[in-house]
Amino acid sequence: MAYRLMQGDEACAEGAIAAGCRFFAGYPITPATDISEVLARRLPQVGGKFIQMEDEIASMAAVIGASVGGAKAMTATSGPGFSLMQENIGYAAMAEIPCVVVDVQRAGPSTGLPTNPSQGDVMQARWGTHGDHPIIVLSPSSVRETFDLTVRAFNMAEKYRTPVILLMDEMIGHLREKVELPPPEKIEIVERVSTSVPPEWYKAYENTPSDVPPMISFGEGYRYHITGLFHDERGFPTQRLDEIDPWIARVFRKIERNLRDILIYETELVEDAEVVVIAYGATARSARHAVKQARQRGDRVGFLRLSTIWPFPERKVEEVAERIHSVIVPEMNLGQLALEVERVVGRRKVIRVCKANGEMVEPREILEAIEGAGRWL
Amino acid sequence: MGERYEIRLAGTGGQGMILAGIILAEAAILDGKNVTQTQSYGPEARGGASRSEVVLCDEEIDYPKVIQADVLLCMSQEACDSYFHDLKQHGLLIVDSDNVERTPTSRALGVPLARWAEEATGRQITASVVALGFLTGLTGIISRASMEAAVKARAPKGTAEINLKALAMGFEQAERFLKSRRG
């Protein structure tokens, strides 16, 4: 396949198609609209359905319905719409419905700065819906990675029966760069686990050895119940602790025991580093630029780029932090993932480089933080 | 780190600055370069400051935006006032003298882009394509063949011919300028 100029949002849409997404419901919002535009054209070409809904609440509901009907389903939005989707994201978490929710972050709160980037939804992606629940959040830092992580988001959603959030930002969503997409035969596609038990034996929320119950689509002749209430193995509401506690334990366990598959990150130059920069999303581009410049100057700086931000890759961060004195965390917010870093690195100095005004964190600012880190020795 | 070459195209929403950036970027890919293209604009569809940036490099590009522009094209007074400070010390500043009255430095290259567009195609809207021809002709950063292919591929239906005319006008003016410099 040849090189071409591609936008991040377009790569997300193409990644969805490649992953087998055949249903999209959404409501337009900058800077995520480009994803809808591409899918409105592309989905009908591959036998899929595109629906523009009346709002984001309905969009998320439609996505859940489509997934229960057997389709790989996705929606895409930005801050204000992501806020509206939260209740139904919780429903998907409770009912264990595979789906992908894309949030192309723009500066907020409220309508904020529609055309400017932000990473202000990091905590919302984790805790936006109420109640304790596991969630997977992936954050790409290039156009090519947006394609790859969209595929991975679908794979994880289907494999673990969970909503997955693809947390993009306006910079990556609107960025165009030279990319070469992988040929279809090189892309791993995961399908949800089904079962061949007869309908009368099927339990939609059975405790299986894998902790992920097989999922049968509505309309295939199997009767079961879906609810946002705590439920028993057949999906009917329950208040019995011997049914509630195992459910809670199982949904967390199914994520925790698969961290090796779920956590995606990349380290560079950490072996001899004294300072490490930890970054994700568009800010990782500024960080890598700064780290390379600092290395040329002779500073012993390393780089950890996180593609999975939730569950937070705490073991990796801990390991990287072991032999260094300072960690630098640049973010386009006032320090959201930095809180997690601080939680796991013990007494090491955590230097935040924060910006929440709709502008990118510039390499120069990270470089200054690297210099500053050296002075504290 | 390889040498980055940074171009910023600035004007008013509706002048075609973002499309011009896309064309430059696609032409750069045809030339085998790595490229990123970003933009910055307000919530409005027309009017308001609009800018498009293109970074070229033979190696992988980390930071995708302009740090200090090698070339700055200004199609409006507001753009010129706002973005001049990010130009490299010996960077090239091209302004559309039909739209920019006050230039911040005597080294600015003022050229009548709107008038050249009018002359070449009868349509002022093609000034951005004239500018692309002039800019690449002057700097040689992208080959003429790649620019022509990229303009052709991106021109709205039925407008390939007039856009190629606009591009040719830009290249001719660049040649004329370079000749006059050589004396």
Query: What is this model's ipTM?
Result: 0.94
A334 interface with B at CB cutoff 8 Å? no
Domain-ending residue, one of A140, A165, A186: A186
Give the number of residues written for chain A.
Answer: 377
- CATH assignment of the domain containing A360: 3.40.50.920
- Out of A171, A186, A201, a domain closes at A186
Question: What pLDDT band is residue A251 in, cutting at 50, 70 and 90?
Answer: very high
Task: With CA atoms as reference, report the closest residue to A363 among A266, A290, A260, A309.
Answer: A290
Query: Which of B152, B168, B155 is closest to B119 using CA atoms?
Result: B168
Same domain, A155 and A275: no
Full set of structural domains in chain B with CATH: 5-182 (3.40.920.10)
Nearest of A171, A166, A174 to residue A149 by alpha carbon:
A166
Residue A141 domain flag: yes
Structural domain contains residue A218: no
Residues of B in contact with A174 (CB under 8 A): 38-39
The answer on A279 and A140 residing in a single domain is no
Residues A10/B34, Cβ–Cβ less than 8 Å = no
Residues A160 and A274 in one domain: no
Q: Is pLDDT at B183 greater than 80 in this prediction?
A: no
In this structure, are A66 and A163 located in the same domain? yes
Q: Is the pLDDT of residue A74 over 60?
A: yes
What pLDDT score does B45 carry?
A: 62
For the cut 80, the answer to whether the pLDDT of residue A345 exceeds it is yes
Q: Which residues of chain A does B26 touch, with a Cβ-Cβ cutoff of 8 Å?
A: 5
Mutation pick from A4, A115, A174, A178 vs chain B, by most beta carbons of B within 10 Å, is A178
Q: Are residues A52 and A149 in the same domain?
A: yes
| Average pLDDT of chain B to the nearest whole number | 93
- Would you say residue A259 lies in a domain? no
Q: CB within 8 A of B154, min separation 6: which ones?
A: B19, B22, B23, B26
Domain count, chain A: 2
Kindly give the pairing relationship between strand A136-138 and strand A326-331.
unpaired
Hey, is A331 helix, strand or coil?
Answer: strand
Residues A141 and A12 reside in one and the same domain: yes
| Domain match, A24 and A135 both | yes
- Single out the residue in A186, A202, A237 at which a domain terminates: A186
A64 domain-assigned: yes
* A324 contacts A376 by C-beta, under 8 angstroms: no
Which residue among A30, A178, A363 places its CB closest to the CB of B35?
A178
Do A114 and A25 share a structural domain? Answer: yes
Q: Which two tokens stand for residue B70?
A: 């090698």
Same domain, residue pair A27 and A133: yes
pLDDT greater than 70 at residue A119: yes
- A171 touching chain B per CB within 8 A: yes
Closest-approach residue (CA) in chain A for B38: A175
Evaluate whether residue A238 is within a structural domain: no
pTM: 0.96
Residue A27's domain comprises: 4-186
Does B22 sit within 8 Å of A176, measured CB to CB? yes
In a domain, A215, yes or no: no
DSSP β-ladder status, A136-138 and A163-169: parallel
Contacts of B146 (CB under 8 A, 6+ apart): B27, B28, B30, B31
Segment A145-170 mean pLDDT: 98
Asked if residue A309 is part of any domain, the answer here is: yes
Maximal CA-CA distance, chain A:
69
3-class state of residue B181 by DSSP: helix
The pLDDT of residue A374 is above 80 = no
Q: How far is the C-alpha of A129 from the C-alpha of A79, rounded, in Å?
A: 14
- In angstroms, the separation between the Cα of residue B133 and the nearest Cα of chain A is 20
Measured between CB atoms, does A176 come within 8 Å of chain B? yes
The stretch A105-132 carries a mean pLDDT of 97
Instruction: State residue A262's pLDDT score.
Output: 98
Indicate which CATH number applies to the domain containing A141.
Answer: 3.40.50.970
Asked whether residue A103 carries a pLDDT value surpassing 80, the answer given is yes
How far away is chain A from the Cα of B27, in angstroms, using its nearest Cα?
10
- At residue A364 the predicted structure's pLDDT band, cuts being 50, 70 and 90, is very high
Tokens matching residue A133: 């629940």
Name the residue among B25, B35, B64 with its Cβ closest to that of A285: B64
Q: What tens digit of pLDDT does each residue of A120-135 get? A: 999 999 999 999 999 9
A212 within domain boundaries: no
Query: How far is Cα A347 from Cα A64, in angstroms, rounded to an integer?
Result: 44
Of A3, A30, A286, the CB nearest to B63: A286
Instruction: Give the best residue of A29, A113, A171, A176 to mutate against chain B (max B CB count within 10 A).
Output: A176
